[in-house]
Structure 1
Amino acid sequence: MRRLPTVSDVASAANVSRQTVSNVLNTPDIVREETRARVLAAIERLGYRPHASARRLRTRVSATIGVRLDPGADGMAGALLDRFLHALVEHADAHGLRVLLYTAADEDTEIATFQRLLDGSDVDAFVLTSTHHGDRRIPWLIEHEVRFVTFGRPWGEHDMTDASHRWVDVDGRAGVAAATASLLAGGASRIAFLGWPAGSGTGDDRRAGWRSVLQDAGVPEDELVALDLAVEEDPRDLGFAARAVRALDPQPDAVVCASDSLALGARLALGPGVPVIGYDDTPVARALGFSSVAQPLDAVAGAVIELLQRDDGAHHRLFAPALVER
């Protein structure tokens, strides 16, 4: 596939900034005539064609949003994404927008799908899920000036200030902190955290909520390290989580977990007599009767649709979750 010229290519060829190219395309009156002529000459020479996705979304010529069906989402994680997609379709429909679902085996395939859908004017914007550190999809969409919103923040120092990346997320740190505080208030003192290995933005954020509450309660650092359990989550084998909890000596008198899948593993290890709090409030948590942190998925989906259509500089929304106690 031939690589299409981007706004960065035009900026480099005209020896100006990306913002200047954007000004020439959108508000040419504020650009000096000499600079404007140089940018327009570079556009002509390179054959650059600006994407009309943002304009089409506002004018609803196509008004279609592309969303990937993640092939890796199964079990409880898949149920969470299904609920989000259902809410997203409902909010899109209320605004006269449509949702187009597509599949991709990996990031390279998905980026190629972006190009195909945009070239055919099939979609105007994208909603991304399952974002992670080093996600190559995000810089590609920014570079090609395609409007998008991610369910999940960009973990980094510019989370709150980079307007090129629109995102909606749920404050996992606050949710796990509330769960930990609830266990303390209920009389627990040796509270373990069962989460994922370090390096996951979402997992590290949730772990930080547990750690901050116990630090404030005066729990020594060596005890925090001993109670911090990290396992790779596998919905087909909950034994990893159960064995990690059973290995603690002495056993914890409560466990707060980064997901309901991990909470199920903890319940298998400890039985119903030890309080366990999960995350995501899935049907499993409700069926087995353990507490869990619920994400406001309907509000998240509504905010995603809102940000896709706004042009006033708003670029992120962070929601508070709710502890559902059972």
Structure 2
Amino acid sequence: MSRLPTVSDVGREAGVSRQTVSNVLNSPDLVKPATREKVEAAIASLNYRPHASARRLRTRKSSTLGIRLDPITNGISGSVLDRFLHALTEQADARGLRVMLFTATDPDDEIRQISRLRDGADVDGFVLTSTFYEDPRTEWLIQHDVPFVTFGRPWGIDDLNDPRHLWVDVDGWNGVHDATVHFLDAGISHVAYLGWPPHSGIGDDRRRGWRDAMLHGSGLTPDAVDRLDLQAHDDVTDGSAAVRALLDGGHRVDAIVCASDTLALGAMLATRARVPVIGYDNTPVAEAIGLSSVEQPLIEVAAGALDLLLGPEGREIVGWDENSSDPRHRLYRPQLVVRTPTAITLARGDTSP
């Protein structure tokens, strides 16, 4: 097995001293641009990576991001945060950072865990997920000057554009709006929406996308649109029951847009796959059964979170910068993935209950 390159190897390759290489890695402003470019070229040529443990001892920083491991959910769409975590871990590793997972029973317990990890110098900054209305975690982090970024924008509080609150998010309004317009452009007017109960920031945002598209392009009255608005918990059985209740009431339904793939599967079961359905999250289940769905760009979201915390090329957590002109948030547009239902799905739709 070949030996890993060292700082001395980089120095020989670039024709500079070991100290100069160290300066380029740790204090690049001290090095002339031309020399820095030679060292960086040697680093790239040798595929050199700084020794993380030595770097932590030298800088007295943990080079570690903390993120809460969310409880396991039964919903099909529960894999979304797992995919985000995987993307974040891979990209953090490429920047010489580690990701530390921790658990918490509720937001208050999460704050206690964050405080403990911060006081012990185990973690330099945090990534928060699953933001919600009046989220107490962000206020605590700002008050205690702890670097953080949230996957999910602020909901119901005044710091949407606060430069101290770094956030990345996916534009759920656009995702559901595009899905609804897809049906409307095909001449389908009675497009129902199956979403979560109100007072969920993410859910309310997605519902607005459907409603705005329907009021603008369906030709239906606001009252008629309201009758197509269904609510259910993120559960296949609950979603299926909500759709069946609408159909049993004699309401016309030509297509259904859903807040998640979990609810979309419930809608497909309720309609026996005879009504086109679009889900949200583009889970492996959606791909397997040929379900059209809205895909969140999780790799880009993870990259954006790290860019906000470290800067585009940074390797140390700096958090917010009051002098920065760079926007302190990133909002990404999802993409509609249109599929044809698989043969097994269609066969299921032809069976009797």
TM-score range with shorter-chain normalisation?
A: 0.7 to 0.9
> In the alignment, what sits opposite 1:173?
173
Question: 1:60 offset after TM fit, Å?
Answer: 7.8
- Is residue 180–residue 213 contact of structure 1 (8 Å, CA) maintained in 2? yes
Further displaced range: 75-84 or 118-127 = 75-84
- Is residue 133–residue 156 contact of structure 2 (8 Å, CA) maintained in 1? no
> In the alignment, what sits opposite 1:62?
62
Question: 1:188 offset after TM fit, Å?
Answer: 1.2
> In the alignment, what sits opposite 1:276?
277
Q: What one-letter code is carried by the residue in structure 2 that aligns with 1:177?
A: H
- Is residue 151–residue 167 contact of structure 2 (8 Å, CA) maintained in 1? yes
> In the alignment, what sits opposite 1:119?
119
1:229 aligns with 2:222: no
Pairs within 5 Å for 1:83-94: 83-94=83-94
Distance 1:158-1:244 versus aligned 2 partners, 3 A rule: farther
Q: TM-score, normalization: structure 1? A: 0.78
Question: 1:157 offset after TM fit, Å?
Answer: 6.8
- Is residue 104–residue 110 contact of structure 2 (8 Å, CA) maintained in 1? yes
Q: How many residues align?
A: 269
- Is residue 64–residue 125 contact of structure 2 (8 Å, CA) maintained in 1? yes
Q: What one-letter code is carried by the residue in structure 1 that aligns with 2:221?
A: P
CA distance in 1, matches of 2:223, 2:151: 35
SS state at 2:150 partner: strand
CA distance in 2, matches of 1:236, 1:98: 39
1:97 aligns with 2:100: no
- Is residue 231–residue 244 contact of structure 1 (8 Å, CA) maintained in 2? no
CA offsets per residue over residues 11-35 of structure 1, 9 Å max, x none? Answer: xxxxxxxxxxxxxxxxxxxxxxxxx
CA offsets per residue over residues 9-68 of structure 1, 9 Å max, x none? Answer: xxxxxxxxxxxxxxxxxxxxxxxxxxxxxxxxxxxxxxxxxxxxxxx9xx6821100010
Question: 1:72 offset after TM fit, Å?
Answer: 4.8
> In the alignment, what sits opposite 2:77?
77
Question: 1:250 offset after TM fit, Å?
Answer: 2.3
Question: 1:224 offset after TM fit, Å?
Answer: 0.8
- Is residue 69–residue 103 contact of structure 2 (8 Å, CA) maintained in 1? yes
Question: Which of residues 303, 328, 348 is equivalent to 1:315?
Answer: 328
CA distance in 2, matches of 1:135, 1:314: 22
Q: Which entry has the higher C-alpha Rg, 1 or 2? A: 2
Question: 1:159 offset after TM fit, Å?
Answer: 5.6
> In the alignment, what sits opposite 1:201?
201
Identical aligned residues as a percent:
56
Question: 1:160 offset after TM fit, Å?
Answer: 4.5
CA offsets per residue over residues 252-283 of structure 1, 9 Å max, x none? Answer: 01000111111111001112221100000011
CA offsets per residue over residues 289-308 of structure 1, 9 Å max, x none? Answer: 12100000000000011111
Q: What one-letter code is carried by the residue in structure 1 that aligns with 2:123?
A: V
CA distance in 2, matches of 1:231, 1:266: 11
CA distance in 2, matches of 1:236, 1:228: 17
**Mind listing any 5+ residue stretches in structure 2 that lack a counterpart?**
1-55, 312-320, 340-353
- Is residue 245–residue 266 contact of structure 1 (8 Å, CA) maintained in 2? no
Question: 1:71 offset after TM fit, Å?
Answer: 1.2
- Is residue 241–residue 262 contact of structure 1 (8 Å, CA) maintained in 2? no
Q: What one-letter code is carried by the residue in structure 2 that aligns with 1:255?
A: I
SS state at 2:139 partner: helix
CA distance in 2, matches of 1:100, 1:300: 19
- Is residue 214–residue 220 contact of structure 2 (8 Å, CA) maintained in 1? yes
Distance 1:108-1:229 versus aligned 2 partners, 3 A rule: same
CA offsets per residue over residues 200-221 of structure 1, 9 Å max, x none? Answer: 1111111111111111123201
> In the alignment, what sits opposite 1:35?
none
Further displaced range: 230-239 or 200-209 = 230-239
CA distance in 1, matches of 2:249, 2:267: 12
CA distance in 2, matches of 1:314, 1:189: 39
Question: 1:233 offset after TM fit, Å?
Answer: 2.0
CA distance in 1, matches of 2:274, 2:237: 25
Q: What one-letter code is carried by the residue in structure 1 that aligns with 2:337?
A: V
> In the alignment, what sits opposite 1:186?
186
> In the alignment, what sits opposite 1:106?
106
SS state at 1:168 partner: strand
**Mind listing any 5+ residue stretches in structure 1 that lack a counterpart?**
1-55
CA distance in 1, matches of 2:104, 2:177: 36
- Is residue 230–residue 243 contact of structure 2 (8 Å, CA) maintained in 1? no
Question: 1:80 offset after TM fit, Å?
Answer: 0.8
1:302 aligns with 2:303: yes
SS state at 1:145 partner: coil
Distance 1:214-1:242 versus aligned 2 partners, 3 A rule: closer
